[in-house]
Amino acid sequence: MNPANGNPAAIAIRNVSKRFGSFTAVDNVDISVPQGAFLVLVGPSGCGKSTLLRMLAGLETPSEGEMAFMGRTVSDGTRGLVADAGGRDAGLVFQSYALWPHMTVAGNIEWPLRVAKWSKADRAARVDEVLGLLGISALKERYPAEISGGQQQRVAIARTIGPKPSILLFDEPLSNLDAKLRIEMRSELMRIHRATGATSVYVTHDQVEAMTMASHVAVLNNGKVDQFGAPLELLENPRTTFVATFLGTPPANLISVTKQDGGLVYDGLRLADAQRAKAHDGVQLLYRAHDIKVGDIEGQLAITARFEEAAPIAGRTMVTAFSNGQRLTAMADGYFSAAIGDQIRLSFLGEPSAVFAMTGERID
């Protein structure tokens, strides 16, 4: 149930696993998605996010566990129950556009409505409606080969939302587009999500897409959900080192320290009180990139590091350097440059944001 309003969750994934032989692609995933949410499944290649989406779409069967849409079970690995993909009231947008080349744009959008036995008048009205919603009315009589990749993706989305599914599934739909068009289409997808009111599940390896689009994020790692929640919650309170370093731009720093004389020490600097490590002798301290500044700052602890690279970002510079084999990302005001290998100073601005065990779990 959705505790906010007493209604069943739009999508309930209960202890779902998927194995291919001896390989476990999805490992005991348990999350509940409220109605109208935009859930992003994010993680590196091979983490299980596309397999999880395919099980939601009915293209794969869970080895264990249960999936339910609006309180209705659509897959149950234990009982061998799998609802037909076409009967789930869900639409899937593939990474490849998968348009029928012999049909016009209008024909591609109309076809699922024919299959659903909509009347001719209703089909015509709905085709015009979604063409307008996607801003592609002028392409109505063209064929897929006559339009651009970005336009083909809009047609694929229009075809998916045509039958008015209550759940929309997106399998890395923007990965074939150039950087500028990806940004534009992100905004379009968010607008479409609001216009349709459908619950959406979106797969990507791009954490910028995840943090930009999502109302809820599930970070997958080796088939497991490392953390599930609102984007800002995951950024501000990561539960594992994987989440802490995978999400956020610029990337955060994890600095390995040891207990010495009541402190947590790195390169001779006491960065935090030893009590924050609890029973651990060695831990990892989380510092955001903006909490390490390039240059000496009066009253702040500083180390010497070897400059590696610089990247301008919105009037500032993200600087990467190495210290005792530790890769560090820091920020400089304005534009900064140095020769690779130059010695630069990095200052720590206060206490670390979080403390993690060497095994990756958060301990404070």
Q: Looking at residue 83, what is its pLDDT?
A: 85
How far apart are alpha carbons 261 and 194 in whole angstroms? 56
Q: Are residues 201 and 297 in the same domain?
A: no
Q: What is the pLDDT of residue 6?
A: 59
Going from the C-alpha of 108 to that of each of 97, 142, 162, 206, 350, the distances in angstroms are: 11, 11, 10, 29, 58
- For residue 14, the model assigns a pLDDT of 96
Q: Which residues contact 338 (CB under 8 A, 6 or more apart)?
A: 307, 310, 344
pLDDT at residue 95, as a whole number: 76
Last residue within a domain, chosen from 215, 245, 275: 245
In a domain, 6, yes or no: no
Q: How many domains are there within the chain?
A: 2
Pairing between strand 38-42 and 64-69?
unpaired
CB count within 10 Å of CB 59 equals: 13
pLDDT at residue 250, rounded to an integer: 85
Q: What is the pLDDT of residue 1?
A: 47
| pLDDT value of position 183 | 85
* pLDDT value of residue 8: 77
End residue of a domain, out of 214, 245, 276: 245
Predicted confidence at residue 5, as pLDDT, reads 55
Within the chain, which residues score under 50 in pLDDT?
Answer: 1-3
Could you tell me the residue range of the domain that residue 294 belongs to?
251-357
Q: Is residue 258 located within the same domain as residue 198?
A: no
Tens digits of per-residue pLDDT, 118-166? 999 999 999 999 999 888 999 999 999 999 988 998 899 999 999 999 9
Is 278 found in the same domain as 149?
no
Q: Is residue 34 part of a domain?
A: yes
- CA 144, CA 309: separation in Å to the nearest integer? 43
Asked which of 196, 211, 245 is the last residue of a domain, the reply is 245
In a domain, 185, yes or no: yes
Is 4 inside any structural domain? Answer: no
Q: What is the CATH number of the domain that holds 290?
A: 2.40.50.140
Classify residue 141 by burial, with Cβ atoms within 10 Å: 0-12, 13-18, 19+. Answer: exposed
pLDDT at residue 3 in the model:
47
| CATH number for the domain harbouring residue 115 | 3.40.50.300
* Per-residue pLDDT tens over the stretch 7-66: 679 999 999 999 999 999 999 999 999 999 999 999 999 999 999 999 999 999 999 999
CB 175 within 8 A of CB 207: no
